[in-house]
Amino acid sequence: MLFAIGLIIAGTTPSMVVFIAGRLVHGLACAAVSVPPYVTVARVWALGWRWVFLGVIGLMLPAAATILPPILRVRDRVRGDTSVEWSLALTGAGVSWAAASWLLADSATG
């Protein structure tokens, strides 16, 4: 219900401030809905069985093969545009930072 309220606020807003407030409500609802499945998986299945979730990697390969050609076409069109290069560099840095943080947090909790 909170999710829908956030969408209604964001979709009918007359100003940016109200839009951001609607997105905040929507984001809080998403967070509230996304945590319980993780808790359920953690409680229902033992640690030794969770390797099965690595099967998702196999699903990523066909998806990557599907989206790679359009990405390469766009890359060829925007070659030389420094704003695109900076966007990709910053995205890569953010992903690297997130991965390093996750690995460090995982090793710290052991």
At 11 the pLDDT is 92
Q: What is the pLDDT along the chain (110 residues), one digit of tens a residue?
A: 888 999 999 999 889 999 999 999 989 988 888 888 888 888 887 777 767 777 778 888 888 889 888 888 887 776 766 777 788 888 989 999 988 888 887 666 65
CA distance 17 to 44: 42
Q: For 5, left (φ over 0), alpha (ψ -120 to 50), or beta? A: alpha
Of 22, 19, 17, 21, the closest CA to residue 4 belongs to 22
Neighbours of 103 (CB within 10 A): 10
The tokens describing 110, both together, are 């052991």
